[in-house]
Amino acid sequence: MVPSFFDSVLELIIRTTTDLPPDVRAAMAATLASEPEGTRASQALTIIAQNIDLAAAAEGAICQDTGMPTFEVKVPVGANQIWMRQQIREAVAEATRRGKLRPNSVDSITGKNSGDNLGPGTPIIHFEQWEKDEIDVRLILKGGGCENTNAQYALPMELPHLGRADRSLEGVRKCILHAVWQAQGKGCSPGAVGVCIGGDRTSGYLRAKEQLFRTLDDVNPDERLAELEASIMATVNTLGVGPMGFGGRVSLIGCKIAALNRLPASFFVSVAYDCWAFRRLGVVLNASTGAIERWLYRDPSHPVIPMLDQAGFRRSGREIALQAPLGEADVRALEVGDLVLISGRMFTGRDAVHSYLMKQDPPVDLNGSVLYHCGPVAVKQEAGDWRINAAGPTTSIREEPYQGEVIRRYGVRAVVGKGGMGPKTLAALREHGAVYLNAIGGAAQFYARCIERVDGVSLLELGTPEAMWHLTVRDFPAIVTMDAHGNSLHTDVEEQSGRQLEALAAV
Ligand code: SF4
């Protein structure tokens, strides 16, 4: 056995969920510097930067969605993989107990959360043997919002705004541009993409995700792919999707491409989209003891440089203070682009709560309420009360089939989430006097600090991420991106970036 293996893997998990690797930090710092001060993009990036600093300082999860833990392990010939797999699983369960990982493993048939991130298929662990006498463990934590924006194309095909994508590198280029455009802010842009050309549907996605283990600043050893990566990065940021899909200068911080052989009849292009909270680290372990010999992607002897050299999110004086519960007149006065600071009562509700509300009355009075699409990391304290460790917004579009009805039936006045919602919700906002507020995706530490207290919880049987938490918040910032007058920033940015996509088709 390898005595320190468990401790080393646990340390890897905790470091990965709390501290972004230096290459991602550098890319995000450059992104922040490139967006003009005072814009929505700059405000979002300032909150993101502050969140990165808070997470590292407090060893808290950068984003409340700690994702699907995916381990790539290389071991010497003869290593006991069965034992190592068990140790990795136990380390994942321990990190979950400590509130470093959110319980994210849900039975696909019953919807029951296992509570410890263990279950069929979770975590994902891939082993490979190699000739070296050391163990290499790499981990990526990729959340659901960005996972849902992955895309797979079967060429040739017609793409909106881009026309025909042929079985050529030019066709691949169109697919990648389309994937970034289609993601808009739903995957918490600016993101990075791992791409695989070829393979079958399964191996293509796997190899695409593996590309996310490359650093953002490396150069592809295949010159043809290096050229394609460079050409994507040279043009994609003219799309104007911007941080959180608010519009802006940076939509993508990295593009990494690989190729696999394919069947003559198939030509798949698989795109794995990762968000700005691009959590990926690794360790090299002594094969006998399991102790960490060195870190991959980071150098612990170099101090972490804070993302911000000043206080972080600063008020401009133009913010609108909202006190919940909200009245109809307050909400109808809001317009797309307004930055609001919410104080008072807020209820969380995501997929399971919306499904519940379609069948049964709410466990609390939602009249005038602020409903937050959020699945927090909640930890029960020894005294029996709850602490929220991480509480950023989840992707709202999943609630599109229900949201309008929930607003109508129960009098919800504000929905807070990320990535925007569709026409059914927009119609309900207009009809009933409500707004959609876009919080900054992934800013889980920042928003956890806006929570003054946890007043209660309903529907805890749905699991902690899906339960309805009753929170009192103070100065919780969010941007009005869909108002009660029928305006949607998301529709505007999608249309403008679609026109830009047409221009790029011709480049
Ligand atoms: S930053 Fe956004 S997309 Fe990424 S894991 Fe968090 S919520 Fe999901």
**Token pair for residue 68?**
């699907």
Pairing of strands 157-159, 377-380: unpaired
Q: Does the CB atom of residue 325 touch ligand 1 within 6 A? A: no
Cβ neighbours of 279 (radius 10 Å): 26
Closest residue by CA, ligand 1 atom 7? 442
In the structure encoding, which two tokens stand for residue 176, read together?
Answer: 């990648």
Q: Looking at the predicted structure, is the pLDDT value of residue 311 above 80?
A: no
Alpha-carbon gap, residue 294 to 283, rounded angstroms: 6
Sequence-distant (≥ 6) Cβ neighbours of residue 476 within 8 angstroms: 341, 342, 343, 346, 416, 439, 447, 450
The answer to whether 250 touches 187, Cβ cutoff 8 Å, is no
Residue 48, pLDDT score: 96
Mean of the pLDDT values across residues 135-154?
Answer: 97
DSSP codes, 303-352: PPPPS-SS-SS---S--EEEEESPPHHHHHT--TT-EEEEEEEEEE--HH
- pLDDT tens figures, 194-220: 999 999 999 999 999 999 999 999 999
Chain centroid to CA 504: how far? 27
Count of CB atoms situated within 10 Å of the CB of 433: 19
The predicted structure's pLDDT at residue 317: 76
* 116 within ligand 1 shell (Cβ under 6 A): no
From residue 213, alpha-carbon distances to 33, 58, 117, 217, 252 in Å are 25, 25, 22, 12, 16
Residue 310 has pLDDT above 80, yes or no: no
- Burial class of residue 391, CB neighbours in 10 A (0-12, 13-18, 19+): buried
Beta bridge partners of 136: 74, 284
Please say if the pLDDT value at position 303 is more than 90.
no
Phi, psi dihedral angles at 463 (to 5 degrees): 100, 155
Helix (H) or strand (E) holding 178: helix 169-183
Q: How far is the CA of 62 from the centre of ligand 1 (A)?
A: 9
B/e letters for 439-455, b = 16+ CB within 10 Å, e = fewer, are bbbbbbbbbbbbbeebe
Q: Provide the pairing of β-strand 377-380 with 414-417.
A: unpaired
If you search the block for the tokens 């140790």, which residue do you land on?
87
Give the 3-state DSSP-derived string for 223-235, with helices as H, strands as E and coil as C: HHHHHHHHHHHHH
Given this model, what pLDDT does residue 312 score? Answer: 66
442 neighbors 275 (Cβ within 8 angstroms): yes
Q: Count of residues for the chain?
A: 507
177 close to 236: Cβ distance less than 8 angstroms: yes
Which residues, other chains included, contact 52 with Cβ-Cβ below 8 Å and sequence gap of 6+?
20, 25, 28, 62, 307
CA of residue 48 to ligand 1 center, whole Å: 11
Which one of 17, 65, 373 would you pick to mutate in the ligand 1 pocket, going by the greatest count of ligand atoms within 8 A of its CB? 65
Listed residue (337, 149, 143, 146) closest to 247, CA to CA: 337
Pick the atom of ligand 1 nearest to 394's CA: 7
Q: What is the DSSP letter of 113?
A: B
Query: Cis before residue 123, ω within 30 degrees of 0?
Result: yes
496, amino acid identity: Q
User: Is ligand 1 within 6 A of the CB of residue 143?
Assistant: yes
* pLDDT, tens digit, 9 for 90 and up, residues 447-457: 999 999 999 99
Number of helices (H) and strands (E) in the chain: give both, helices first: 14, 20
Are the beta carbons of 204 and 198 closer than 8 angstroms? yes
pLDDT in tens, 407-434: 999 999 999 999 999 999 999 999 999 9
Query: Which tokens go with 192?
Result: 């990075």
Mutate to test the pocket of ligand 1, among 66, 146, 416, 447 (most ligand atoms within 8 A of CB): 146
For every residue of 396-445, DSSP letters joined together read GGGGHHHHHHHHHHH---EEEEBS---HHHHHHHHHHT-EEEE--TT-HH
DSSP state letters, 33-91 = HHSPTTSHHHHHHHHHHHHHHHHHHHT--SSS---EEEEEEEEETT--HHHHHHHHHHH
Mean pLDDT score of the chain, rounded to an integer? 96
Identify the pLDDT of residue 302.
Answer: 86
User: What digits encode the pLDDT tens for the residues 67-96?
Assistant: 999 999 999 999 999 999 999 999 999 999
Q: Answer yes or no: pTM beyond 0.85.
A: yes
Ligand 1 touching residue 433 (CB < 6 A) = no
For residue 274 and ligand 1, the question of a CB distance below 6 A is answered with no
